[in-house]
A and B are shown apart, each in its own frame.
Chain A
Amino acid sequence: MPIEIDIHALKEKKEDAFRQLVNAYGKDIFNLCLKIIPNTEDAEDLSQEVFVKAFNSIETFREGAHIKTWLYRIAINMYYDHLKWSKRKKRYAILQPLFNREDEPIEIPSNFQHPGIVLENKEHAKVLYAALETLPENQHTAFLLYEMQGMNYKEISETMSLSISSVEALLFRARASLRKKLHKYYSDYTSLKK
């Protein structure tokens, strides 16, 4: 059942309306952020920033659009910004654009702490998140929204401002690329164990 949010009150920046928005979509946004950053504290921080950004730019929200899709788009754009910023911080950042992101090796994150992942899936989930990090941004997003967030093509196309066929193509490439990377990762892992 869709949640009724008073868009006019939001545009007038009324506190009660924003409280209602946070209560209605806080969990969805937090869980999306957890899928982007598998760490509770960072995901909480990012999801709070999403609502602050929404507050500051609510006048750009087009009436008739879905507020949840709009919030998802903010979350994803903020993650891209965060990614660019953290990459810039790395040494030799000037050389980064010279290399294709797809050639990056899979690096298992050290601060992995996702409350929605059961222990038996944890190791595979870690590998998944690490592999996703090496995908191009749009493939990463399409895979995340479809496979992990359970959104359909139409919702993804609205969130990413793309056509449905583009979303399908991105998903196809993301799966193929992931499979290739995972194959290499597990081959190296197996040969190391021997």
Chain B
Amino acid sequence: METNNNIEKDIEKVFDAAKNIKQADLPMSFAEKTMQRINSAKPAPAVSAYLLLKVAAIIILVGLNVYTISRLLESPVQTEAVKVSMDDLVKDYQVTDVSNDWLNNKTSQNEQP
């Protein structure tokens, strides 16, 4: 009987212990440590600012190249067709006789023994 009473007292003390737990103070620098863990848990950004800068620079360079090439194709260099006729040649070199007799004559003279 006495044992049972003691057991009941112990059980009540256990229930009382549940109600008498005091608030504990936060450990030192709890907030700092928590913020560090939060920061380290942050997912890394898929595209970093540096990568964005590189992509932008490449786009600008390619764009400039395309623009330059397209401007060149729009205004092609004027290449005059060279049409040289015999008459133009005569005119340019001020040849009076267009015939080639003198040449033939010369040849014929050379052929003579």
Is A177's beta carbon under 8 Å from chain B?
no
Q: A18-B38, A51-B37, A52-B38 are in contact. Are A30 and B30 (CB under 8 A)?
A: yes
Cβ A147 vs Cβ B20 within 8 A: no
Task: Pick from A22, A34, A52, A128: contact of B18, CB below 8 A.
Answer: A128
Min Cβ gap A67→B in Å is 15
Cβ B18 vs Cβ A148 within 8 A: yes
Task: Pick from A18, A116, A187: contact of B23, CB below 8 A.
Answer: A116
Cβ B34 vs Cβ A22 within 8 A: yes
Binds A, one of B8-16, B48-56, B81-89: B8-16
Q: Count of chain A residues with Cβ under 8 Å from any Cβ of B? A: 42
Judged by DSSP, the binding face of A is: helix
Q: Count of chain B residues with Cβ under 8 Å from any Cβ of A? A: 30
Min Cβ gap B16→A in Å is 7
Min Cβ gap A165→B in Å is 23
Per-residue contact bits, chain A 139-168, to B (CB 8 Å; 1 contact, 0 not) = 000010001100000000000000000000
Min Cβ gap A191→B in Å is 9
Which chain B residues have a beta carbon within 8 Å of chain A's beta carbons?
Answer: 3, 6-7, 10-11, 13-27, 30-31, 33-35, 37-39, 41-42
